[in-house]
Amino acid sequence: MTHDLYVVVPFFNEEQALPQTLRALVEQENQNFALVLVDNGSTDASAAIAIEFSHRIRHFAVQVIQEPVKGTGAAADTGFRHAIAAGARWIARTDADCLPRANWTRVLRQALEVNGLDFVAGRIKPRQDELPLSRARRALIGLVVWIAENYGKIHRRGPQFRYPYFMAAGNNLAISAELYLQSGGFPRSSLEDVNEDRVLSETVRTLTANAAFRDDLVVHNSVRRLQAYGVVNTLRWYRNRGYRPDVVDIR
């Protein structure tokens, strides 16, 4: 069976989180998609978990591929190009520590297939299952996201852009195959060097106006980095890597 929608999940040493992400994808309301799991040189049991999952799950296509050059940009780009070579019309991405809502692929299909968008991004919300989050802590996380969104709206303007800025997080976006190739795709970068999702989305803004942010496209995001870095350093990290932690891959 051929698929026009592919979901790419890059992973590196996510043996604890990956099974939950895979379960969230298995439980999608709309299961008309293929799944590409990109092992980015894991040294734990992540690759074995992904391979076992691909053998066990039969009701939709699952492929496990390798990208030995470490970096979220490199792994995501390899997965997207693999999907395009396999015949994908659209490619979505989430990350191996994230939980897409059960309607995620259904909303994606509506945006891409019904509404005819070439690029779509959605909202990220904190996971509730990793550690107890007080109401104040949830509000603080919401404030961090709000600051990031509005900082971009203020500072990322110019005549070269064909639509106003919206935040397109790499764990909750999708793009047409044609536009991905036209944009050059995710930079094959390391996590320490650049926000590969920002590079892609800012390039897309110069190429098309056929893009939108969907409030009903929701992925629950890990709060590990926020816990490890703190609020100020997290904002500095996402603002052009203004904070350089000793340990980047928070586990």
CA distance 236 to 243: 5
> Cα(71)–Cα(75) distance, rounded to whole angstroms?
6
Whether 131 maps to a domain, the answer reads: yes
Q: What is the CATH number of the domain that holds 198?
A: 3.90.550.10
251 is a domain residue: no
Alpha-carbon distance of 98 to 90, in angstroms, equals 20
CA distance 175 to 112: 8
Structural domain contains residue 250: no
Q: 3-class DSSP state for residue 63?
A: strand
Domain assignment present for 164: yes
Domain span at 204: 5-238
pLDDT (0 to 100) of residue 123: 95
Inside any domain, residue 47 = yes
> Residue 59 phi/psi, 5° resolution?
-85, -5
Is 245 among the domain residues? Answer: no
Residue 247 falls within a domain, yes or no?
no
Please say whether the beta carbons of 156 and 128 come within 8 A. Answer: no
The pLDDT profile of the chain, 251 residues, written as one tens digit per residue, is: 579 999 999 999 999 999 999 999 999 999 999 999 999 999 999 999 999 999 998 778 999 999 999 999 999 999 999 999 999 999 999 999 999 999 999 999 999 999 999 999 999 998 888 766 667 666 666 666 666 666 666 667 788 999 999 989 999 999 999 999 999 999 998 766 778 999 999 999 999 999 999 999 999 988 776 666 665 666 565 566 665 666 666 65
What Cα–Cα distance (Å) separates residue 174 from each residue in 111, 151, 171, 200? 9, 22, 9, 11
Report the alpha-carbon distance of residue 191 to residue 170 in Å, rounded: 12
What pLDDT score was predicted for residue 80?
A: 98
Number of independent structural domains in the chain? 1
Would you say residue 78 lies in a domain?
Answer: yes
Reference 117, options 52, 173, 40; nearest CA is: 173
H-helix segments, the chain: 18-26, 46-56, 72-85, 104-109, 135-155, 177-183, 196-205, 224-229, 231-238
CA distance 223 to 132: 11
What is the predicted pLDDT for the residue at 218? 97
